[in-house]
Each structure stands twice: as C-alpha cells, then as structure tokens.
Amino acid sequence: MIHLEGITKSYTTGAQSLQVLKGVDMRVDAGELVAIMGSSGSGKSTLLNILGLLDAYDGGSYHLDGRDMAGLSERRAAEMRREMLGFVFQSFNLINFKSAAENVSLPLYYQKVPRKERTRRAHALLDRVGLLDWAGHLPSQMSGGQKQRVAIARALAANPRVILADEPTGALDSTTSEDVMALLKELNAEGMTMVVVTHENEIAKACGRTIRLRDGLVETGMDVGA
C-alpha cells in the first residue's frame, strides 16, 4: 500500500541546511497496522507530512496504492489526500464551531458529496464509533475520548485507503487510550490500513509492527513483525 525508497528531505533555514530524512525505506502492506516510533528530532513528523502528502520530498520515491507520488501539484496532492488518506491527530483538531456531524461530513464537502448524502453518511459513521446521540453536539461539550472518536469517524468519512494517526492517544488518559486503540484495531481488523506515529511503547505494542526512526533513517534489524 505504502512503499518508500530512499526518501530524503532537508529544510533550509537561512544559510543552514538541515537534513531531516536521509534515505528512508519502508513498506506498509494493505491491511497492516504499523507504528512509527522515534525520539523527537528523529524525523517522525516530517515523515508523516510526506506520507500525508502535506509536504514534498527531495529525493527517493513514494508509491501510494501503486501510484507514484512524485512531483504532484498542490491541487493534485489535495485530491489524493481527499481520496486516499484519513488523518487522526493528537489534539483531535475538530473544528470547534461545527457540530460532531458537521465535522465528520467536512471531508465529504471537499469531495463534493451532496449535503443530504453527507449528513446521512456522517450519522452512519458516528453510529459506527458509538456517538450517534452526540451528532448535534459541539466539540466543547464532549470528553477527550469522544472527540477522538469523532475525529476517527471524520478520518473514515472519505473512505480512505490509509489512515494516518499522529499520536492519537497523546492527549488521553490510559483508559480512554485503550478504548481508542481498540477502535483503531477494530477498524484494522475490518481491513483498514493504518500508520500510527507514537512515542509510547504500549501503543506500539498494540500495533502489528513497529518501524523505528533514528536521525532520519529507519533503524535496521528493528523492523520486525510482532
């Protein structure tokens, strides 16, 4: 599903150039649940940006679902994100002036799905994450766990091939963390491919496989199936 070969990325600030990714090779197959671990500065977020088509890479190749992602225009990248990817964030990032159902239907708005159909699908997804009764509530009226479940429903809305989760439990207590991970595993069991960026061993253990980043490279020998 995801195939990276020799991905490099550097940032230039003033006269200094910082090589963040030095040639990342990784592979995620369809239906896998993979954790990406690494200390801060290891290039995790940069990798996630590139996987999420939110940033361009300098060298190497990136194939998503068999398609080469080289040299996408901004518009085309947005289109690919819309069709292929779902995002889940640490701090949920729900739009706070929109209700749960409106948040979930937002990706469908960008897919130009008609309004009635959007609402219908948003309600079905909220039902799937067990929050149908909360459809009309604003994020500020919900608990952290509920918010993250709404965010997961939103990530599912566009019917993506891959869900990218960035520290999905980072802002949650341990009990709710388990609930959220259970939900992600359930979705994975239904066939959804997932990449979870985390620094928590507990979470990584719950995933099928762990990829460790250190100084812009994948640590070899650690890429082992659980």
Partner 1 sequence: MLERDSWLEVAHNVLAHPLRTALTGVSVALGIFILVVMQGLGFGLQHGVEQQFADDAVNSIWVEGGRTQMPYRGSQSNRPVKLTNADMPGLEAQADTVPSSSRRIRMWGAEVVWANPRGENQTGSFGLRGVDPAHIELERSTLLSGRFINARDVAESRKVAVVGPNIVEELFQTSEPVGTFVRINGILFQVVGTFEDPGSRWENRVVYVPFTTAQGLFRSDDSVDQVIYSTGDMTTDATVVQSARMLSWLKDVKAIHPEDARGVRVDNNNEEYAMYASIFEGIRLFIWGIGLMTLLAGAVGVANILAIGVKERTKEIGVRKALGATNGSIVGLVVMESTVLMLISGCVGLMFSVGLLSVVAPMANHEYFQNPQVDHRIALFALGVLVLVGLASGLGPALRAVAIRPVEALRDE
User: Which segment (22-30, 62-70, 104-112, 210-218) binds partner 1 by CB under 8 A?
Assistant: 104-112
User: Which segment (64-72, 101-109, 177-185, 199-207) binds partner 1 by CB under 8 A?
Assistant: 101-109
Q: Which two tokens stand for residue 19?
A: 């090589």
For the CB of residue 108, give the shortest distance to partner 1 in the complex, in Å.
9
Residue 10 is a binding residue for partner 1 (CB under 8 A): no
Instruction: Pick from 75, 190, 191, 225 the residue near partner 1 by CB under 8 A.
Output: 75
Report the residue count for the chain.
Answer: 226
For the CB of residue 101, give the shortest distance to partner 1 in the complex, in Å.
13
For the CB of residue 3, give the shortest distance to partner 1 in the complex, in Å.
21
> What spatial distance separates the first Cα and last Cα of the chain, rounded to whole Å?
19
Q: Which of residues 132-161 bind partner 1 (CB under 8 A)?
A: 154, 158
CB 152 within 8 A of CB 103: no
For the CB of residue 118, give the shortest distance to partner 1 in the complex, in Å.
9
Residue 72 is a binding residue for partner 1 (CB under 8 A): no
Give the C-alpha separation, 135 to 123, whole Å.
7
Q: How many CB atoms lie within 10 A of CB 78?
A: 14
Q: Which of residues 171-190 bind partner 1 (CB under 8 A)?
A: 171
- Complex with partner 1: residue 156 or 208, whichever CB lies closer: 156
Residue 166 is a binding residue for partner 1 (CB under 8 A): yes
Instruction: Pick from 1, 4, 9, 49 the residue near partner 1 by CB under 8 A.
Output: 49
Nearest to 194 by CA among 82, 37, 31: 31
156 to each of 28, 40, 126, 161, 206, how far by Cα in Å?
Answer: 19, 28, 10, 9, 20
Residue 13 is a binding residue for partner 1 (CB under 8 A): no
**Non-local CB neighbours of 153 within 8 Å, separated by 6+ positions:** 100, 104, 122, 125, 126, 128, 129, 131
CB 170 within 8 A of CB 90: yes
- Point out which residues pair with 194 in neighbouring strands: 33, 163
**Site residues for partner 1 per CB under 8 A:** 45, 48-49, 52, 54-55, 74-75, 78-79, 81-83, 85, 87, 89-91, 93-95, 97-98, 102, 106-107, 109-112, 114-115, 154, 158, 166, 170-171
